C-alpha cells in the first residue's frame, strides 16, 4: 500500500493548475474527429466503411463525457457545509465509491473504489459531495497516486477538518491488456492528513472500518 504525504498533495495541486486548459484553448469538435480518423487509419482501418463512418463523432462525445472532470471545480462542489451536528466529532466515512478513470500513460481504463473519511471540526459535508469529488477527479487523466492525493487535499483545504483519510483500490487495465498482462491485480494507495497522519490509531480505525464486511 502506498502512503502519500502532504508534499505530494501540494505537488499534485500545482500540476493540476498547470495542466487544465481553458475551453477556448482546446481543439474543436471537428479537430477531435479528424484525430480519431487518423488513429483509425493508423490501425489499418478503412474510415469510410459503414461501421466506422460515425465513430469519430461518437468517440468525441464519449470522451467529452468520460473526461468532463476538467470542466468542474471540486472545491465548488464541496461548497456548503453543515454545522448542526449535535456535537459529533468522530470519523465520517464514505466507502466503496465506485469510479472509472483513465491512465494518463496509455489512456486505458482504471476501475476501482475509493474510501474517504474525515474527522469533523464543527462542520460536516453532505455525503453525496464526497462521491462527486471522487467522480470529478476520476473523469480526468490520472495516476492512482495523484488522484488519491487530490481528493485528500481538496477536502482538507475546503472543509478544514481535523484530518482526512483516503484509500483507493483499483485495477489498471494497462496491466491487464498490455505489457505484463496480469488481469485482476489490484493496486492500493492511501493518503492521510492531520489526525489521521499523526495518530496511528486513527489510521488503523479507518482501515478497519473500510475492511468491515469485506471478508
Q: How far apart are CA 67 and CA 105, in angstroms?
A: 15
Q: Measuring CA to CA, which residue among 212, 195, 194, 186 is closest to residue 1?
A: 186
Boundaries of every domain in the chain: 2-18+74-211, 22-66
Which of 102, 115, 153, 172 does the annotation list as catalytic? Answer: 172
Q: Which of 45, 72, 106, 145 is catalytic?
A: 106
Close Cβ partners of 113 (under 8 Å, ≥ 6 residues apart)? 95, 96, 97, 98, 99, 168, 169, 170
| 191 is a catalytic site residue | no
Please tell me which residue in 142, 144, 150, 203 is annotated as part of the active site. 144
The string of pLDDT tens digits covering residues 35-88 is 999 999 999 999 999 999 999 999 999 999 999 999 999 999 998 888 877 888
The whole-chain average pLDDT of the chain stands at 89
The one catalytic residue among 45, 104, 169, 171: 104
Fold for 2-18+74-211, please state it: GTP Cyclohydrolase I, domain 2 (3.30.1130)
Catalytic, 157? Answer no
- Summarised one tens digit per residue, pLDDT across range 42-57 is 999 999 999 999 999 9
Higher pLDDT, residue 184 or 172: 172
**Is 106 among the catalytic positions?**
yes
pLDDT at residue 1, as a whole number? 54
Candidate list 103, 115, 142, 150, residue with the active-site label: 103
Q: How high is the pLDDT of residue 189?
A: 97
Tell me: pLDDT of 197 over 80. yes
Whether 105 is catalytic: yes
If one compares 108 and 1, the residue with the highest pLDDT of the two is 108
Packing angle between helix 55-66 and helix 29-43, nearest 10 degrees? 120
Mean pLDDT (whole number) for 167-195: 87
Average pLDDT (145-156) is 97
Class of domain 22-66 (CATH, top level): mainly alpha
Amino acid at each position: 500500500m502506498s502512503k502519500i504525504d502532504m508534499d505530494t498533495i501540494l505537488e499534485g495541486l500545482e500540476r493540476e493548475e498547470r495542466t487544465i486548459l481553458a475551453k477556448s484553448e482546446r481543439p474543436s469538435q471537428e479537430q477531435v474527429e479528424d484525430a480519431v480518423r487518423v488513429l483509425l487509419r493508423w490501425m489499418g482501418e478503412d474510415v469510410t466503411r459503414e461501421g466506422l463512418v460515425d465513430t469519430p463523432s461518437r468517440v468525441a462525445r464519449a470522451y467529452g463525457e468520460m473526461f468532463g472532470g476538467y470542466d468542474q471545480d471540486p472545491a465548488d462542489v464541496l461548497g456548503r457545509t453543515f454545522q448542526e451536528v449535535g456535537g459529533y466529532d468522530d470519523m465520517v466515512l464514505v466507502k466503496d465509491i465506485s469510479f472509472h478513470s483513465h491512465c494518463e500513460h496509455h489512456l486505458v481504463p482504471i476501475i476501482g473504489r475509493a474510501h474517504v473519511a474525515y474527522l469533523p471540526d464543527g462542520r460536516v459535508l453532505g455525503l453525496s459531495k464526497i462521491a462527486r469529488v471522487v467522480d470529478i477527479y476520476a473523469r480526468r487523466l490520472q495516476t492512482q497516486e495523484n488522484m488519491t492525493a487530490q481528493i485528500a487535499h481538496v477536502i482538507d483545504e475546503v472543509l478544514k477538518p481535523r484530518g482526512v483519510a483516503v484509500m483507493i483500490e483499483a485495477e489498471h487495465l494497462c496491466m491487464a491488456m498490455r505489457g505484463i498482462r496480469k488481469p485482476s491485480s489490484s493496486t492500493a494507495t492511501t493518503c492521510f492528513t492531520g489526525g489521521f497522519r499523526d495518530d496511528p490509531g486513527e489510521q488503523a480505525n479507518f482501515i478497519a472500518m473500510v475492511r468491515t464486511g469485506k471478508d
